[in-house]
Structure 1
Amino acid sequence: MIIYEFKVKAKEFQYRAIDEAIRTSQFIQNKCLRYWMDNKGVSKYDLNKHCAVLAKEFAFVNELNSMARQSATERAWSAISRFYDNCKKQIPGKKAVRPRDDDSRKGTRTKRGYPKFKKYCRSLEYKTSGWKISENRKAITFKDKKGIGKLKLKGTYDLNYYQLDQIKRVRLIKRADGYYSQFAIKANVKVETEPTGKAVGLDVGIKYFLADSNGNTVENPMFYRQSEKKLNRANRQKSKKYKKGAKPQSKNYHKARCRYAKKHLRVSRQRKEYCQGVAYSVIQSNDLIAYEDLNVKGMVKNRHLSKSISDVGWSTFRQWLEHFGRKYGKLTIAVSPQNTSQNCSNCGGKVKKSLSTRTHICPHCGYVEDRDINAAKNILKKALSTLGHREANTLAGDLPSGLVGFGLSSDGESMFAQRCVSKPRITVAKSAGSVKNV
């Protein structure tokens, strides 16, 4: 499944119609969530039936396409099922209290990802009906009763390469700089590449964006830090135009709010583009990539380092790394981060050091190396030590347990792993971290 995104060009009344459709989808999602809270044993099928009841009860809900209403119901059920999964996994959290109509207390409604009501929804999703693409694939028309009509698509992607039955979802998204349309296309994105015969371990950090086991480092661009003064200035200008108790706020306030949001959007896009480029370069240069399975969500709770960690974009980099790994058939392995910075990559001895100590000096063997590069070598050794077990699991039909995280599928489908299994001449040498042809 691939996602193509286009900028939407339309008239003002069409933008207002998109906003109304998004609010309707949010209304359905919240109503389904309330129905689940008030009734025990509600299933996904029950929510779909309740969606039909809402369409008969509210005229503005009936104006939305039926499959768009189903998509809103599926979003509500996705949050509910995620909460059930977290409870089964015994993820720690606050005490679970089912909200009552007269319960105004805060902090008791969430445990293990307890579903919350949507307040600011910014997207709407259609399935296979309710829309029609023009013959040249440069415009899309929405045919429900919301009055969205025909929208022009501005972008560099070409939808003519795909059949209409391959488009499984169409999303309308509102952002600070305008409206966008996304197309979820069912297509094979795997690309055969020639093996490079190399393996690398990656250690992400704050001083460097990443350091690899070959001694190379990539500088941290710190996009947020560079734009922080401009962001703070825009935030102050927005706050000056805010009038307490005024409903609605003035047009100047909303203009300042949009300027502030656009600056944040620019920073996030810079970070995403940088992570994408680095991940692509790493994937194209190596056949095996090892990295740490970091708990970024827990690490950002450190109030001293949260801004710096968020500015680097570790999770975004990992997502792109795994995506390119699946696309180009490269093996990506996530290893435990335990003691990767403390152990010596030369002799294996443990050398305790604080976070401020940036140079690894081993008292056992006298090995001296940069802290991050030493960690990257340890990460690669951990990955190579489990590679044989992972390939055995692939042969047995079991899902390997090395990759755990967002957007991860079984790396048993990796083309590199299939080469290693089907062609015995390709083996992994457990030495300095290279893949050799024997």
Structure 2
Amino acid sequence: MFCMKTAYKYRAYPSKEQKGTLNRQMYLSKELYNLLLEKSKSYYKETGKTLTEFRMNGWITKLKKEKPEFAEIHSQVLQNISKRVSDAYKHFFLRCKEKKQGKKVKAGFPRYKKFVSSLTYPQTNGFKIEKKKVELSKIGRINFVNHRNIEGGIKTLNIKKTKSQEWYITIAVEKEDKPFISNGKPRIGIDLGIMQYAALSDNTILQNAKITKHERKHSRALQQNISRKEKGSSNRRKAVTRFARYSEHISRIRLDCINNLSNELVNSYSFIAYEDLEINNMVKNHRYAKSINESSWGNFTQLLQYKAESAGCVAMKVNPQYTSMTCSKCGNVQSISISQRTFVCEKCGMSMDRDVNAAQNILKRALDSISPTTEGHSGSQARGDDIRPSAGEAVAYEAGTTWVAS
């Protein structure tokens, strides 16, 4: 059986003394990260080779003898910092390779950090989870709000401080995957939008999160308040924290909205087709960049994939090209301006809301790619690994059969 990876996030309340210890360890983590990055650069200049994670860990052991302050941090947390540096280099070389292949990506050589806001314990012998407390090595027992039980084998723990000075712990687990059983409900296509969050192929319209004018005005006032404070002053730091807290409040409203929408969709449909959008390219249009970022389309589609299988649903992404310009009835392709909200086919005369028309095309495109004889599995983020039941088996799902990973 395959293992499903998931994570549980909880609000933590460290004491004043524990906050001081955590801040101290994060400062030392930042210093170590920058030292490792400098060491990697000099090693490459001398040898022409990349400093491996194993060699970094050996160097950390020597460094702790020269600088005893690094011994204040648990050894596995220090090793995780070397992993971060190693991963930064791997991603840099991967982007360089993609750039040579003609992809429009920025290589982005690893940079020195100004701060580190989280600590990661990669193995369970560095922490112990109790009912309402978590014991972290060299920090102590920290209170946290245990609002749901942890299911599965615990793998790693991360403690993080947000810009608003709030603390969270995230616990990663692995648990045995369950056989997939379809919920037997209808199939749907989704067209994501800006004026309205999404249009479904059955004429249902999903609305955006309700952010009032007062909330937007208050957010702007907090930003203006920051600009009036002297840089580096304690008043400016307080103003930045106030703005960060309010920004997180707005973010939670949006996250709550897309969580509710994704829950409703995966529980109401057995097959969901959505657009595979290139969001990074879309936000280059400064006219719509703010609205696109606020819509959190990427988070929404990730939530769909994550929740779909456990709800007996299949979520499938399709190429969105020409879906807004194609007649869902006769297949005629014609140009249509962004301001034109109704699609009127020049060939067959069909008239329909442009977003609903696009959603129907998205569903058709997904169903056209389905073959009842399709075998194997396609990639998914729903279960945290590379295996999921293929969208081509959707017909079998609706018949009530089960899919068992083996």
- Give the TM-score normalised by the residue count of structure 2: 0.87
Report deviation, 1:268. Answer: 1.3
Contact kept? 1:92, 1:112, Cα under 8 Å: no
3-state DSSP class of the match of 1:223? coil
How far apart are the structure 2 equivalents of 1:75 and 1:240? 37
Report deviation, 1:236. Answer: 1.7
Instruction: Choose the corresponding residue for 1:210, options 198, 202, 215.
Output: 198
Aligned residue in 1 for 2:128: 132
Contact kept? 1:200, 1:213, Cα under 8 Å: yes
Task: For 1:5, give the aligned amino acid.
Answer: K
Instruction: Choose the corresponding residue for 1:355, options 332, 338, 350.
Output: 338
Report deviation, 1:410. Answer: 4.0
Instruction: Choose the corresponding residue for 1:116, options 107, 111, 116.
Output: 111
Aligned residue in 2 for 1:68: 77
Report deviation, 1:13. Answer: 1.8
Report deviation, 1:56. Answer: 3.1
Contact kept? 2:185, 2:268, Cα under 8 Å: no
**1:379-428 Cα shifts (integer Å, max 9, x gaps):** 01110111118x6241xxxx537x6x8997445436x866756x89569x
Contact kept? 2:12, 2:143, Cα under 8 Å: yes
Aligned residue in 1 for 2:175: 187
Report deviation, 1:271. Answer: 1.2
Aligned residue in 2 for 1:400: 378
Instruction: Choose the corresponding residue for 1:15, options 12, 16, 19.
Output: 19
3-state DSSP class of the match of 2:157? strand
How far apart are the structure 1 equivalents of 2:385 and 2:343? 35
Aligned residue in 1 for 2:61: 52
How far apart are the structure 1 equivalents of 2:214 and 2:111? 34
Task: For 1:157, give the aligned amino acid.
Answer: R
3-state DSSP class of the match of 1:360? strand
Report deviation, 1:258. Answer: 0.9
Structure 1: any 5+ residue segments left out of the alignment?
Answer: 95-109, 428-438
Report matched runs for 1:245-324 at 5 Å: 248-250=232-234, 252-324=235-307
How far apart are the structure 2 equivalents of 1:263 and 1:296? 25
3-state DSSP class of the match of 1:211? strand
Report deviation, 1:331. Answer: 1.6
Aligned residue in 2 for 1:172: 159
Aligned length: 389
How far apart are the structure 1 equivalents of 2:394 and 2:245? 46
- Give the TM-score normalised by the residue count of structure 1: 0.81
3-state DSSP class of the match of 2:175? coil
Contact kept? 2:12, 2:145, Cα under 8 Å: yes
3-state DSSP class of the match of 1:186? strand
Instruction: Choose the corresponding residue for 1:155, options 135, 143, 146.
Output: 146
Percent identity over paired residues: 28
How far apart are the structure 1 equivalents of 2:37 and 2:141? 32
How far apart are the structure 2 equivalents of 1:191 and 1:233? 52
Structure 2: any 5+ residue segments left out of the alignment?
Answer: 402-406
Contact kept? 1:26, 1:118, Cα under 8 Å: yes
3-state DSSP class of the match of 2:286? coil
3-state DSSP class of the match of 1:340? coil
Give the 3 Å change call, closer, same or farther, for CA 93–379 of structure 1 in structure 2.
Answer: closer
CA RMSD, aligned part only? 2.8
Instruction: Choose the corresponding residue for 1:413, options 373, 389, 394.
Output: 389
Task: For 1:228, give the aligned amino acid.
Answer: R
Contact kept? 1:24, 1:61, Cα under 8 Å: yes
